[in-house]
Amino acid sequence: MVESKRVTIRLSEEMLGKIASLVSSGEYKTVSDVIRDALQRFLDERESPPNISRVTVELPRGNVIRLEQLVSEGDAISIGDAIRDAVREYIRRKMKSE
């Protein structure tokens, strides 16, 4: 098991309430799990190669479900791959029409 260190942080009541909701919903087991996941995502975002920029996309749940179906049917390797393909196609079409 990886050795871990204890860290103390201060959070607003509002932020702590949101974290507690994630735990009570069953999405995470503990408050520490939420914070570890958030920090890991934060660090991963900063470890991208210099020629890559990460973008967060908010989609309606129905679109995400459909993308998951397309991935499971083999239409794309992953949701990220499908989104990258869609962006490339959009840019290609826009540049072609200019």
Helix (H, G, I), strand (E, B) or coil at 12: coil
Q: Alpha-carbon distance 86 to 5, whole Å?
A: 42
pTM check: above 0.85: no
Residue 71 in contact with residue 60, Cβ under 8 Å?
Answer: no
| pLDDT per residue as tens, the chain (98 positions) | 788 899 999 999 999 999 999 999 999 999 999 999 999 989 988 887 888 888 889 999 999 999 999 999 999 999 999 999 999 999 999 998 87
The span from the CA of 33 to the CA of 41, in Å, is 12
Q: In the chain, what are the domain boundaries?
A: 9-52, 55-98
Instruction: Tell me what pLDDT residue 38 has.
Output: 96
